[in-house]
Amino acid sequence: MRVRVEVVGEGETDVEVDDDGTYADVVRAVGYSPHETSVLVDGSPVPEDQPVEAERVRVLRLIKGGAE
């Protein structure tokens, strides 16, 4: 399944996940851990273990960077 992913503040990309993939798989496909993000579908958060049903999602990074 092809999913259009917008990482808020970083841009958009298309990723491929298995037909039985979860939103956690989508997050991993764009290079992040599900523990540091929230996935939004139509503006509402979805559980990371829920099967992907949307063709377009937004990923909001909750943890970013650190002290430099």
Query: Higher confidence at residue 48 or residue 63?
Result: 48
Kindly report the pTM of this predicted structure.
0.88
3-state secondary structure 16-30: ECCCCCEHHHHHHHC
Residue 8 pLDDT greater than 80, yes or no:
yes
> Facing residues of 14 across strands?
4
CATH architecture of 2-61: Roll (3.10)
Query: What is the reported pLDDT for 63?
Result: 72
Query: What is the reported pLDDT for 66?
Result: 58
Query: What is the reported pLDDT for 64?
Result: 64
Domain residue spans in the chain? Answer: 2-61
pLDDT band at 5 (very low <50, low <70, confident <90, very high): very high
Query: What is the reported pLDDT for 65?
Result: 61
